[in-house]
Amino acid sequence: MLGAPVDHSLSPVLHGAAYARLGLAVRYTAIHCEPVGLPAMLARLRTEPGWLGVSLTMPLKTVVLDLLDEVDPTAAAIGAVNTVVVGADGHLRGDNTDVAGITFALRRVTDRTPRQPMIIGAGGTARAAVAALAVAGCPQTAVVARRPEAAAELAEVGERLGIAVTGLPWELLATGLPAGPDLVVATTPAGATDPLARRRWPATSPLIELLYHPWPTALAATAYRAGARVAGGLEILAGQAVGQVAHFTGHDVPAGVLFTAGQAALEQRASPPPGDDHATAHP
């Protein structure tokens, strides 16, 4: 995988578990790569034998778009690629399995197509959330954003994907979750939704929380206590990695295998080594 930073990524753990399960001799490592170095890295993929592809994290997901030979229509619509597959003669195709990861989480929390979903946040991951809701057949979604212009950009993404996006002001959350949403997708950084977590949460509003460490987040804990169904970022990470494994190898692997490996890695990181009571866990 490529990105900056990548030192604490769980992706090598998840992919390693997948290839071990499949019995494939595939090596997956994290490589520090800044945007300025991406063209040279992609040139290596085109010319060096043995590459199946690479995963991309920020800030490379948007930078890579103009450097590829082909981009999946959904990835093009949301303006982000997290998976590059090496084909014959060095042909590079971009895809976005973040959408598959959120779709996997959606199926974990509801067996119905949400009619009034709400996305909290309007950054890059919110774009994947809009696409996942479109794939699920949702006709519309609300987006609560700090910046109206960011909500407007998501509305343009939604228009390309066939889902209506309505922007709502961030201040709306000051008094708690508005009545009505039958799904909430939280895409904000750690701590951003903590004030909302101190309010009442309806049991009829399942939550997809894109964060996974530390877990549960304050928002996830509130939803759990209310009796709502909750899926976390580790499930999304496992779901999107399953899609990458399929793109790279043509083989399917159960998401549970990757999720279990990720859980074990997080537990190990959270446990301080003997004699060190002040060790810090990192995602």
The strand pair at 83-86 and 53-55 is best described as antiparallel
The answer to whether residue 61 is catalytic is yes
C-alpha 66: how far from chain center: 22
Burial class (CB in 10 A: 0-12, 13-18, 19+), 174: exposed
Q: What angle do CA 267, 269, 273 make, to 5 degrees?
A: 110
Position 135, amino acid: V
Separation CA 115–CA 183 (nearest Å): 8
Q: Which residue, among 175, 86, 170, 98, has the nearest Cα to 132 in the 3D structure?
A: 98
Q: Which residue, among 187, 189, 190, 199, has the nearest Cα to 223 in the 3D structure?
A: 199
Position 33, amino acid: C
Q: Which residue, among 84, 151, 95, 149, has the nearest Cα to 121 in the 3D structure?
A: 151
Residues 18, 53, 61, 122: which is the catalytic one? 61
Q: Annotated active-site positions, please?
A: 61
